[in-house]
A and B are shown apart, each in its own frame.
Chain A
């Protein structure tokens, strides 16, 4: 089978973020493979390690520098990578259309993508991909197995969770709890240098969403240090939390 794992690059969680006017400035920030997508890469590797004969293709839409996130996926163990280059910042539906053509071309059986994007918090890409491809989708999965042409998985529902079975091809969105992603080992980082990473211009896809205006919501850290007696400190923390409406 062929598994496509969709990769996004996001600023490192420890990156410094500045706001200028109504824009978030990320100059100098380190960009990494989105942790949510990393669960997908790991799950693809585990499916293969469980005995399924699978080729794993890491696929991304983004600027040239997205190659770095794809290299991380290759170093983890993906077989090859494809980058659909664009400097635009397409919305999830447009991204889904850009990806769908490549996924169909690959004749993928399973698409894995992070449940939501660490930077913009959007959870739309997985369902948008499924809609575009006309495939079933299981979102927020916490376990998954492939049984012939059927995908068995457990996913979070509004109340508790559900066990699902669906025919392949399908789209699955991944999240924390599905697995514990491996570190790419140094030997595999070296081997990844020789793996295929093909970049091609992203196909034209007319944006379905137009940004009319935007505001950046900013919250400053309180930077409060509570000192002294731990018991009094605990009371102070509780009253701070109450104050914040927690």
Chain B
């Protein structure tokens, strides 16, 4: 049995996200990119419409949407602006470890306040200044103390960071023991000893604020520990297995926007007496953009479908993430070529697509790491 159709509710969600992206996100995207300013009004309205923290379960007052729902919505929002979508996407990245591994009590305490009111964000802190792709090498230290844990260290590239109500922080309780001593701790925004430094000078996605997190003798109570000691890395990786799907979906949105802008321009702009779309050199670029778009979307939805079915989705999410973000980067780059000089200046939206989507090839696991993950499975199966 196989069925590629969306249900009526999913079509409605898609319609809402499409309208919101067109009417509210796209018109302000260039300005927030130029100013590197947080889009307060857009995020507030997204929260009011229920487009923020989609994965908070119904038991905690949320909508309890699945990964496919999030992918459908994410593609639409990223069509408007990948940077603005990252604020929403990164909040669900902070929510997901609690959805997958939090106790009912932890979900009640941390997730319920995120929904039903204004814009409340969550964040996820795994990378460090000296450890990204190798999470077992993290040095942020969690020491047991009276009534809980004491955290010391620095975390890097934290989307939403200082704006979030809480951040799920991955640390080690014994640097000698690697993953076996890793922990996942929920650190609330008001914890003593916690400070943030904003990262400036980003190439793209400049509407999404990024922070360095500084943990200086931060105390968190015992019941802020997700799972058990030794579960930290497993919690991080199982979260990323799912949240790479929205990264892929955002990439699909960018790829679609690139094709939209390029094909519109190519049918209007004339060279040698006819629209440039009628020249094969450009027509084939458009065809390749469409091929990438369609294949990226189906792989993304396939990975999402696996996640929602409770099947292992890591392999297919890795393929979706790497393929869709590479595809989107290639399409954005080709769109720049189609628009020529207009593609290279910020009066048109395509240069921004290229700058924005570069990050999709990096965050939530670089595409190099995705390929290692994919290759490992291929090799394992060949050796079996």
A68 at interface, CB cutoff 8 A: yes
Given contacts A223-B267, A225-B268, A225-B269, contact A186 B16 (CB under 8 A): yes
Given contacts A68-B8, A71-B8, A190-B63, contact A185 B49 (CB under 8 A): yes
* Complex Cα–Cα for A190 and B11 (A): 11
B180 at interface, CB cutoff 8 A: no
A175 at interface, CB cutoff 8 A: no
CB contacts (< 8 Å) of A75 on chain B: these are: 12, 16
Which B1-38 residues have C-beta < 8 A from chain A? 8-9, 11-13, 15-16, 19-20
B54 at interface, CB cutoff 8 A: yes
Chain B residue with Cβ nearest A184: B16
Q: Separation in Å of the A222 CB from the closest CB of chain B?
A: 9
Q: Separation in Å of the B253 CB from the closest CB of chain A?
A: 16
CB contacts (< 8 Å) of A71 on chain B: these are: 8-9, 12
> How many residue pairs at the A-B interface have CB separations less than 8 Å?
51
* Complex Cα–Cα for A7 and B77 (A): 27
CB contacts (< 8 Å) of B275 on chain A: these are: 223
CB contacts (< 8 Å) of B268 on chain A: these are: 223-225
CB contacts (< 8 Å) of B51 on chain A: these are: 186
* Complex Cα–Cα for A32 and B12 (A): 10
B12 near A189: Cβ-Cβ < 8 Å = yes
Which A179-233 residues have C-beta < 8 A from chain B? 183-190, 192-193, 223-225
Q: Separation in Å of the A18 CB from the closest CB of chain B?
A: 15
B48 at interface, CB cutoff 8 A: yes
The count of chain B contact residues (Cβ–Cβ below 8 Å) is 20
CB contacts (< 8 Å) of A187 on chain B: these are: 50, 63
B13 near A189: Cβ-Cβ < 8 Å = yes
B16 near A183: Cβ-Cβ < 8 Å = yes
Given contacts A190-B63, A223-B267, A225-B269, contact A183 B19 (CB under 8 A): yes
CB contacts (< 8 Å) of A192 on chain B: these are: 9, 12
B49 near A186: Cβ-Cβ < 8 Å = yes
CB contacts (< 8 Å) of A67 on chain B: these are: 8
* Complex Cα–Cα for A72 and B15 (A): 9
B20 near A183: Cβ-Cβ < 8 Å = yes
Which B261-299 residues have C-beta < 8 A from chain A? 267-270, 275
* Complex Cα–Cα for A32 and B19 (A): 12
B48 near A72: Cβ-Cβ < 8 Å = no
Q: Separation in Å of the B351 CB from the closest CB of chain A?
A: 18
CB contacts (< 8 Å) of B16 on chain A: these are: 75, 183-186, 189
CB contacts (< 8 Å) of B9 on chain A: these are: 71, 189-190, 192-193
Q: Which of A75, A190, A193, A225 has the most CB atoms of chain B within a 10 A radius of its CB?
A: A190
Which A40-79 residues have C-beta < 8 A from chain B? 67-68, 71-72, 75
Chain A residue with Cβ nearest B115: A187
Q: A107-134 toward B: CB 8 Å interface, digit per residue (1/0)?
A: 0000000000000000000000000000
CB contacts (< 8 Å) of B12 on chain A: these are: 68, 71-72, 75, 184, 189, 192
Q: Which of B9, B48, B267 has the most CB atoms of chain A within a 10 A radius of its CB?
A: B9
Q: B29-67 toward A: CB 8 Å interface, digit per residue (1/0)?
A: 000000000000000000011110010000000010000
Chain A residue with Cβ nearest B64: A190
Q: Separation in Å of the A221 CB from the closest CB of chain B?
A: 8
CB contacts (< 8 Å) of B48 on chain A: these are: 185
* Complex Cα–Cα for A109 and B141 (A): 69
Q: Which of A32, A186, A225 is close to B13, meaning CB atoms less than 8 Å apart?
A: A186
Chain B residue with Cβ nearest A74: B12
Chain B residue with Cβ nearest A189: B12
Q: Which of B8, B13, B48 has the most CB atoms of chain A within a 10 A radius of its CB?
A: B8
* Complex Cα–Cα for A225 and B267 (A): 10
Q: Separation in Å of the B117 CB from the closest CB of chain A?
A: 13
CB contacts (< 8 Å) of A32 on chain B: these are: 15
Chain B residue with Cβ nearest A187: B50
Query: Mind listing 23 A-B residue pairs with CB under 8 Å?
Result: A32-B15, A68-B11, A68-B12, A71-B9, A72-B12, A183-B20, A185-B16, A185-B49, A186-B16, A186-B49, A186-B50, A186-B51, A188-B50, A189-B9, A189-B13, A189-B50, A190-B63, A192-B9, A223-B267, A223-B268, A223-B275, A224-B268, A225-B268
Using a CB–CB cutoff of 8 Å, the interface residues on chain A facing chain B are 32, 67-68, 71-72, 75, 183-190, 192-193, 223-225
Closest 6 CB pairs of A and B: A186-B50, A223-B268, A189-B12, A185-B49, A187-B50, A185-B50
